Amino acid sequence: MSYLPLTVVALMAVTILGITAEPVYAMHISEGILPMGWAVLWFLASLPFVVLGLRNLRIRSEKEPHFKAMVGLVGAGVFVISCMPIPVPVAGTCSHPCGTGLAAILIGPSISVVVSSVALLLQALFLAHGGLTTLGANIFSMGVAGSFAGYGIFVLCRRMGLSFIVAAFLAGVLSDWATYATTSFILTGALHADTSFWKMFVTILLAFVPTQVPLGILEGFLSAGAYTFVHSRRPEYLGIFAKGGVA
């Protein structure tokens, strides 16, 4: 039985719950926060990664029949995980786990950018989380920075001889923190005006610390647990990682 219909049902269920809930704060970088020039800049910065991810998705799907189902399940996971907001009003956004570090080590960083883009688009359209004008910036922070940071840490840890459990844990933690460092950088670049860039950057970054430090650690445990489960039950889904590789 294909997992894709189940994934679609899960996404619809979460979407309906989100529509019926009363929103308190917008997640991700909110609609209208970024000036249009900066919004366009981050769309252009994210676009090559999305195109690369779509290309790699097509290639891997042709070689591995099970891969589309895996991507669908991971995409649903990213959607749900990133729908758990803790408001940070002074930063104009929210803290929340992201799931992109885990996605990157399961399906690859470029394809993780694609599933992040889909999750962020659905959240912007149906849950009022983030926005359409800030979609490019949110894709870059959560999808690009989070995915490639998590994947890079995982590869580095494995090359240093650390176990895959430790590597997955650190990938989850540091991908989460990389996402919020990037979000702080994006907000500062667009909004600092005559204020010192680094002073505003540190101020925004510190605003995330009380919520994002524990959330990042929690995401590390989630990544380690989920990766261990897949490694023990369906190692063939992990490609070269299942054999101890790090490519």
Dig out the tokens for 23 from the structure: 């929103």
Q: What is the mean pLDDT of residues 49-74?
A: 91
Residue 15 in this model has a pLDDT that exceeds 50? no
What is the spatial distance between Cα 144 and Cα 182, in angstroms, rounded to a whole number?
A: 10
- CA-wise closest residue to 29 among 182, 213, 177: 182
Tell me how far apart the alpha carbons of residues 61 and 183 are, in angstroms, rounded to a whole number. Answer: 32
**Would you place residue 22 in the very low, low, confident or very high pLDDT band (cuts 50, 70, 90)?**
very low
Radius of gyration from C-alpha coordinates of the chain: 17
Q: Topology of 27-243 in CATH?
A: Arp2/3 complex 21 kDa subunit ARPC3 (1.10.1760)
Q: How confident is the model at residue 210 (pLDDT cuts 50, 70, 90)?
A: confident
User: Is pLDDT at 215 greater than 80 in this prediction?
Assistant: yes
pLDDT at 93: 55
∠ CA 17-21-23 to the nearest 5 degrees?
130
Kindly report, residue by residue over 33-53, the tens digit of the pLDDT: 899 999 999 999 999 999 999
One-letter amino acid at 159 equals: R
Confidence at residue 111, expressed as pLDDT on a 0 to 100 scale: 95
Amino acid at 58: R
On the 0-12 / 13-18 / 19+ scale of CB atoms within 10 A, 108 is: buried
Helix boundaries (H) for 32-91: 36-63, 67-81
